[in-house]
Amino acid sequence: MSEISATHHHGSHAEGHSHAEPQIAARSRLLPSAVTADRGTLRTVSMGMMFVGAIVLVVLVILGFSAEGAGRQAIAAYHAGFLFCVGVALGCLGIQMILHQFNAGWSAAPRRTAEGIASLLPLCALLFVPVLVNALIGSDSTKLFKWMVPSYVAGDVLFEHKQGWLNVNFWIVRSAVYFGLWSMLALKLYQWSRKQDLSGDRWLTAKARRMSSYGLLIFALSSAFASFDWLMGLDFHWFSTMFGVYFFAGSVLSAICTIVLVLAMLSNAGKLKSVVTPEHFHDMGKMMLAFTVFWAYIAFCQYFLIWYSNIPEETAFYNLRQQGDWRYLSIFLVLGHFVVPFLVLLFRGVKRTPRLLAFVAAWLLIMHAVDLFYIVRPVIKESKLGERLIMDVFGIAGPALVFLGLAIRRVVSAPLIPLKDPRLHEALEHKNYV
């Protein structure tokens, strides 16, 4: 740690002396070789990831058809994986709109990664297709959402009450609306940012900021209802007003982790030298810490209020997850998703060392997947935890690998930073003084 701060100190020392005009200093770092990726290697990596992901998915399908009752487990695991991808992309959309709203100058450097990944949201709709197919033509025993099975809900008073909301047609329409809204926001922001690369029109930044204002409103409502439809609806008796916020917290955390991971990979490949610096990693590390705590806060409050009031219709959710082996997963989640990363991220040295931070980010991403798995998978009561574990792993890894491969491909296909962002010089000068 001391070595790092020492070298860093000399760097900033030199800058302080030699450049009176910050913009000139900024430009000399933006050499084409630093801000554009070598398409070769990283593309190979991304193609490899997508290829492996596709194979994994094929194996999953084969496994799903191989045994009685395996189909529902396969689609459940896949659903968790799908939500992982959507969560990352959606979190990237949310985080860039929040940064726009804060007029955050430092964020210009890491923002392009978020823009690139969020612009994959239309493709996430394709990942939704298997879930849709399951809902439309799946047999009663393989349908993921029990409320879609007429024989299962016959005579259920609560279901009859909710039928206006919980019917397949409306559910599909809503899902389409969510993807439509998100795609519109994400693509607009991405296009404007790329347009700015060419034209240098700084008013596009103002335009993006303006759209982010109502964009966040759309985002908040749509992501909350999407979480109700895709996650909470798995147990259609259960409800929690907090659930949308829970999904938001996890998604944004996973988005920040993905951005850190991608940027660390790029800087490992020798890109973005003195463009995305330890100062930026430090701030992103702080955001990881903040959202780790925020996720824990939301998760705790939701659990705690249900535990304390002890009303049967609500405790069903946690009851299921505190019985059998699921209990160990609950404890693992508390430790792995909160306690350990929280303690590790408290250290300044971790946040300022891209490799260490990337390691924590990867860990948190896995934990986010576990969190989604923990919400989705226990509803498949016919299969205990650990049974056909390979399917659970493949179900999450398949879409996640395809998606992350696409994400890398998208990021390296454009300049790695918004080249003409009017605040870029602020971002390049960025320093944490305290």
Partner 1 sequence: MSVIHPDQYTAGQLAGTIPVDRPQVIDKRAGDGTLIDDPAVRAPLVLNDRSFNDITETVCGYVEKKPGGWWWPVFGIANMLAAIGTAMIIYLLITGVGTWGLNNQVGWAWDITNFVFWIGIGHAGTLISAILCLLKQKWRTSINRAAEAMTIFAVICAGTFPAIHVGRIWFIWMVFPIPNANAIWPNFRSPLLWDVFAVSTYATVSALFWYMGMIPDFATLRDRAILRLKKNATGPMVMPFLSLRVDEVQARVYGLLSMGWRFSTRHWQNYEKAYLMLAGISTPLVLSVHSIVSFDFATSILPGWHTTIFPPYFVAGAIFGGFAMVLLLMIPARELYANMKDIITLRHLENMAKILLVTGMMVGFAYAMEFFMAWYSGNAFEADVFVYNRLLPPFLAQVGADGQLKYAPYWWAYWSMIFCNVVTPQVFWMRRFRTSPFWIFVVAFFVTIGMWFERFVIIVTSLHRAFLPGEWGMFFPTWVDILTFAGTVGIFLTLFLLFLRFLPAFAMSEIKNVMPQASPHKH
Partner 2 sequence: MANKKKQTVYRTTAGETVYGVMAEFATPADLYHAAEKVRDAGYKAWDVYSPFPVHGMEEAMGLPHTKLPLLTGIVGLTGAGLGLLLQYFVTHLAYPMVVQGKPMFAWEPWTPVTFEIGVLFTAFCALLGMFAFNRLPMWYHPLMKKERFLRVSDDRFVICIESKDAKFDPQATRAMLESVGGKHIELVEE
- Give the footprint of partner 1 on this chain (CB under 8 A): 16, 20, 24, 26-28, 30-32, 35-36, 101-106, 157-158, 161-162, 165, 197-198, 200, 202-203, 205-206, 209, 213, 216-217, 220-221, 224, 228, 239-245, 286, 290, 293, 297-298, 301-302, 304-306, 308-311, 313, 414-415, 419-420, 422-423, 433-434
- 391 near 65, Cβ under 8 Å? no
Nearest approach, Cβ of residue 313 and partner 2 (Å): 18
Nearer Cβ to partner 2 (3/68): 3
Centre a 10 Å sphere on the Cβ of residue 325 and count the other Cβ atoms it contains.
12
Nearer Cβ to partner 1 (41/199): 199
- 93 near 219, Cβ under 8 Å? yes
For residue 174 the two structure tokens come to: 């809503």
* Residue 197: alpha-carbon gap to chain centroid: 26
300 contacts partner 2 (rule: CB under 8 A): yes
Nearer Cβ to partner 2 (47/331): 331
433 contacts partner 2 (rule: CB under 8 A): yes
- Give the amino acid at 262: V
Indicate which single residue of 102, 170, 304, 328 sits in contact with partner 2 (rule: CB under 8 A): 304
SS3 270: coil
> Which does residue 9 bind out of partner 1, partner 2, none, counting CB within 5 to 8 angstroms by kind?
partner 2
Stretch that binds partner 2, among 6-14, 43-51, 52-60, 64-72 (CB under 8 A): 6-14
- 423 near 108, Cβ under 8 Å? yes
The angle subtended at Cα 94 by Cα 371 and Cα 393, nearest 5°, is: 25
Measured distance CA(401)–CA(407) in Å, rounded: 10
- 299 near 330, Cβ under 8 Å? no
Stretch that binds partner 2, among 222-230, 300-308, 399-407, 412-420 (CB under 8 A): 300-308
Binding to partner 2 (CB under 8 A) within 345-374 occurs at 346, 348
Is 195 exposed, middle or buried, given 0-12, 13-18 or 19+ CB atoms closer than 10 A?
A: middle
Instruction: Return residues touching partner 2 (CB under 8 A).
Output: 5, 9, 12-13, 16, 300, 303-304, 307-308, 346, 348, 431, 433
